[in-house]
Each structure stands twice: as structure tokens, then as C-alpha cells.
Structure 1
Amino acid sequence: MTPTRLLISRPAGLRRRAALGLALGSALPPVLAQPDAAATPAATPPLRVVASFSILADLVAQVAGPVAEVSALVGPDADAHVYQPTPADVRRLAQADLVVVNGLHFEGWLQRLVRSAGYRGPVLVVSQDIQPRQQGGHADPHAWQSLGHARRYVARIAQTLQGLRPGQAASLQARAQAYDQQLAALDQRLRADFAALPPERRRLITGHDAFGYLAEAYGLTLLAPRGVNTEQDASAADVARIIRQIRSERVPAVFLENVSDPRLVRRLAEEGGARLGGQLYSDALSGPGGPAATYLQLYQHNARTLLEALR
């Protein structure tokens, strides 16, 4: 798969525009070797796509390839739940050709940002056709933690990009199909891996309830002191309840998250007598040199970390 430009940090300069050069044979008269610039067809510039957070930006980039320049408002290792947009975000959104968001109330700040930027272009909500799991009376927005839902995200992204660039629909479809095959193969392998865990080893604790879709897909039981939003503080009663469950149910491992304060999870492990199983990536990719720099790497890392701790 041809690599694409994924701009996670905020761009500081003007975007590059490629020009299509025209080369004629040396046997032609000199007057024809340098045609008028106005008559030279210009290459189609890449779409400027702004995704709300890093995981979504990578999914778009995998499908778009050279068709788009993709940037993320909320970058690696950053928490979209509590993000505060900047003036640079307003400028970037105002120049976008397409905005891609998760939906399910994940980006509560986005509507204000769109209004501030005066953006009037298309907004793709990738979770639109997904039936979300419910947690505490609210829809769980972390649908990308299911590989099956991620495949639906990819299909919607491909359909939208094809509508914006119909001349490149075939290459976009090919990239989407190739990526979908990778996601499907990983899902099939993980179902077998997690099915091999004994029932008593299928319980885990995370800092907030971000892995419910993964747990449902692979037959795990997830406990979390916080709900689906990291803005919610865990109460003393919730913490005490989780500690009692760790002890009574002999939960084998507690996991840190890259976007959450580790102190609460460390306390749960210490007082509950469970081991720290490692760090999971919930709502953001790692930096380019980290273990979860793409969505596929994120999912592989999380699955490997869970399996190694729970076996």
C-alpha cells in the first residue's frame, strides 16, 4: 500500500501543489518544446481533509493515499474528551475540503469549532450507521475499538472520498479493499487467540470505559472506575467497589492508558493485589516512533498486551 502524508501536528506553511509537466521529443521544432503555461493541464490538488483525532486521521489516510492531505485536530497521546481548540484549528478548518468526525458525542467541542471557522463543507460522521453499545444510559463513542466497526468506518470514508474525487474512485476503492482485508484478517486471528483464554482469565481493569467494544468482540469482562468519558472523576465509592471486585473475582491484571492519569490505576493494582499489565492505547495513537503509530499497530499492540498479561 502506497504511503500517504499524514499530518498529525498542525501544518505551519502553505500546502504544496503539484504541477503536471509536459515533455516533448527533441526532434520536434523548438517552438513546440515549450508550450504556453496556460495550456498545460494542472494536476488535481490533494483534498484537504481534517479529522477530529489521530486514530480517525490514520483511517482516512490509509484509504486516501495521495488523493488527500490528512491532518488531525487532536494529535498523538492527546485526549479528545477534554480537548480545547486553538485559533490554528479555526484557520485549518476554514481551509478544509472535508471534515471527518467520529460522532456519538465524542467531540463535544466540534460544533463550536465549525461555527467559529465558518466551515460550510461536508462533514462525514463515520459512526452514523453503527448501533452503539450503551453504558450508564449513554452511547459509548469508542466504536473504533471494534475491528468490525472500524471496517464500517473505512467503507464510509471510501464512499465519501470517491464522491469528492470520482476520477480517482477506482484507486480509492482498491486501497479501501486492501485495508479492509488487513482488518478482517486481524479480527479473525484475534478471535482465535482470545478464545484460548480460560474463562477466569478474561477479566481486566482499565482507567476509563474505552474498551467495551473490544471486550464484547472477544468475550472479555471489563471493569473501569470511570465511564466512557475521561472528564468524569471516579468517586470514592466507585474506587472501593472496583478494589473489592479485583480481590473477590481475582482479576489478573490492571492496565494503564496513554490518555489517562496513571495514578488511579496504579492505586487499584496496589490495593486490589492485581498486576500492572502494561499500557493500552484507547483514544489516541502514539507518536510516530511509538508502538501504536497507526490504527493497525494500535490494535495489534493492545491485543498483544492484553493476551500476554491475561494468559
Structure 2
Amino acid sequence: MKLWDDVLGMTNVRRRPWLAAAGAAALSVALPVRAQAPLPVVASFSILADLVRQVGGERVQVRALVGPQADAHAYHPTPADVRAVSTARLLVANGLGFEGWLERLMRSAGYRGELLRVTDGLTPLPAAGAGKRDAAHAHGHDHDHDDGEHDPHAWQDVRNVLHYVQRIEQALCRLDAGGCAGYRQRAADYRARLQALDDEIRAAWQAIPAAQRKVVTSHDAFRYYAQAYGVTFLPAQGVSTASEPSAAAVARLIRHIKAEGVRAVFVERLSDPRLVERIAREAGVRPSRQPLYSDALSTPEGPAPDYIALMRHNTRVLTEAIRGAGG
């Protein structure tokens, strides 16, 4: 009997590693593999948040500090924004002075992650009337938006957004090497869509004589669009929605509208419409019923829920108004 006990004991000893391995395999099948948590990213405003989502897909969790139909020029951080920034791995900003409040927010949040300014590496347009604004700042008329030497609205030229997307792709790959192949593929696919959009906008304007491509808008957010697509924009305000034009400037604009035969008068979605409505009334022009979207997306139900839709909407309503079909 002892012999059999010894044999059985030896058999059990030999079987134990196999039993352990089998048990581990069973557990690995039974327990689901834990998915990697999405990379927490904060974008300064809704247009940038959309671009990050296009490149990042499900591997990123994006929060826009300034959401759809909200004005980045008049933004004031909330405690929830401070918490979101403090836990983010990546903070995506436009740069060129667009987010005059960003440095203070980063200090308040104790931010230690990466800051990506998507306009770095671009050649920006100079801001219109920068010298006058500098004088205004010197006399104490400052606000959170930094009307500096450069125009920050570079996203209004689709070719610049190709650069934005490349910068976002590179930053995501640095922070999440395991997802890099996916980021590169999504970025390449999105760049192809952006190139098609740029071609589409150019074709839309080619059908309109250059002399007729004149538009009045409520603030100077479309200079990149103007340069890229051959359109003249006459802004009632400066680069910031916080700027207030003088009475003399308004009078000059009204005379110019009459002299040049401008037919397209628009209000951006974020602007107070009263100034442009007054200018249109005194110039004898009816303002468009459809607003332009300059610095923010619309809500998901609106006409500009993402960047590509925004550019298509603006181009359509601008060209229709100039032709007299959409006023």
C-alpha cells in the first residue's frame, strides 16, 4: 500500500504544474481583457476638438473648453474646466494669441502634460490694424483675447488645417505609441477629405467673377479664407468680437458698400447682429438670413456640426448670397 501511496503522491506532484497552467488558461478565457483607457485630451475650442476626434477616434477622450456656439473671445474657465485640464495628457490650442486666457488656466490647473499649438510652423497673416489695437491696450482697453501682431483664424484656410492634422497626429503618436498606426491611417484618410474640400471650395468660387466676390461680415475672422479663395471681406469689427468700431469706421464701411455694390452682408453666429443690421439698413442691403460660423461649430443638429460641414455651409451661403439666391 505504501508503494501505491508513493506512486500516487509522485503523480500528483508531477500533475501540479499542469493543473496550475490549465487553471491560468481557464481564468484568461473567463476574464475579459481590460481595454486601454482612452487618452484624455483637452482642446481649447470646438473646431480643434473635432479635429482631434477625427484623428484620435475611440482611443482619445476629448473635451472642448469652449463648446459649440460659444465665443472663445469671451471665455471664462469654470472649476470643471480646471479639473479637466489638470488630468489631461494633451492640451491642444490654436496659438497666435487666440486663447489669451490659456496660460492662466494652465497655472490654475497645475498642468504638467504636453501643450500642442497647432499653428506652430505656419506662416501666419499679420493682424489687420495691429498698431491701433496696441495703442488701445496701452490705454487700458484690454481683454482676454490677445489681438497681437498675427491673425489667429488660420483654420479658415483648409490648407492650414492639413498642417493642424499633421501636428495632432504627431502629438498623439508621441503620447500613445501603441495607437500610432491607427492615428496615421485616420489622419491620412481625413487629409484626403480635407483636400477634396479645398478643391470643392475653389470650384464654387471659380463660378463667380472676381469683381463680385465682396462680403461684409460682423468681425474680421475670414482673412485666411479671403486670401485662399480670392474673396474680399469687409469686417464691421476687428479680429476680436470684443472690438468696437468707431462711428467714422462704420460710416466709411457704409459708403464702401454703396460704392462697390456689395450684396452679401453676414453676421457670424457668435456676434451681436445689431451692428451689421444697422450697416445693411443704411447701405440699402438686406443681410443674409443664414449666419456664418467663424470661431465655433454649431450644435449637432445645426448646419456646422464639424469642421468640414462648417466650411461647406459658409461657402454655400456666401456664394448664394453673392448670386442673389440666398439673401
TM-score range (shorter-chain normalised) is 0.7 to 0.9
Residue 159 of structure 1 aligns to a residue whose secondary structure is helix
Cα contact 1:56–1:101 (8 A) shared by 2 = yes
1:93 to 65, 78, 85: 85
Distance 1:287 1:60 in 2: 17
Residue number in structure 2 paired with 1:136: 129
1:66 to 45, 58, 61: 58
CA RMSD of aligned residues (A): 1.8
1:82 to 74, 77, 81: 74
Q: CA deviation at 1:40?
A: 7.4
Distance 2:70 2:253 in 1: 26
2:253 to 208, 218, 242: 242
Q: Could you say which structure has the higher helix fraction?
A: 2
TM-score by length of 2: 0.83
Task: Deviation per CA, 1:170-204: give whole Å up to 9, x if none.
Answer: 11111001100011011112112202211231000
Q: CA deviation at 1:41?
A: 5.5
Distance 1:299 1:210 in 2: 13
Residue number in structure 2 paired with 1:49: 41
Cα contact 1:93–1:117 (8 A) shared by 2 = yes
Residue number in structure 1 paired with 2:141: none
Q: CA deviation at 1:241?
A: 1.0
Distance 1:186 1:83 in 2: 30
Cα contact 2:90–2:114 (8 A) shared by 1 = yes
Residue number in structure 2 paired with 1:287: 299
What are structure 1's unaligned runs of at least 5 residues?
Answer: 1-27
Distance verdict in 2 for CA 1:170–1:105, change over 3 Å: same
TM-score by length of 1: 0.87
Residue number in structure 2 paired with 1:227: 238
Distance 2:202 2:269 in 1: 24
One-letter code of the match for 2:277? R
2:192 to 170, 173, 181: 181
Q: CA deviation at 1:32?
A: 4.2
Residue number in structure 1 paired with 2:265: 254
Distance verdict in 2 for CA 1:174–1:36, change over 3 Å: closer
Task: Deviation per CA, 1:41-76: give whole Å up to 9, x if none.
Answer: 632211000000000100110000011001100011
Residue number in structure 2 paired with 1:157: 168
Distance 1:40 1:63 in 2: 27
Residue number in structure 2 paired with 1:6: none
Cα contact 2:201–2:312 (8 A) shared by 1 = no
Residue 40 of structure 2 aligns to a residue whose secondary structure is strand
Cα contact 1:195–1:219 (8 A) shared by 2 = no
Bigger CA drift: 82-91 or 192-201?
192-201
Residue 139 of structure 1 aligns to a residue whose secondary structure is coil
Distance 2:70 2:232 in 1: 26
Task: Deviation per CA, 1:129-184: give whole Å up to 9, x if none.
Answer: 11111122321100000000011000100011011111111111110011000110
Residue number in structure 1 paired with 2:144: none
One-letter code of the match for 2:87? Q
One-letter code of the match for 1:162? C
Residue number in structure 2 paired with 1:124: 116
Distance 2:256 2:53 in 1: 41
Q: CA deviation at 1:275?
A: 2.6
Q: CA deviation at 1:276?
A: 1.5
Cα contact 2:157–2:225 (8 A) shared by 1 = yes
Distance 1:290 1:181 in 2: 24
Cα contact 1:56–1:102 (8 A) shared by 2 = yes
Q: CA deviation at 1:30?
A: 7.0
2:280 to 259, 269, 273: 269
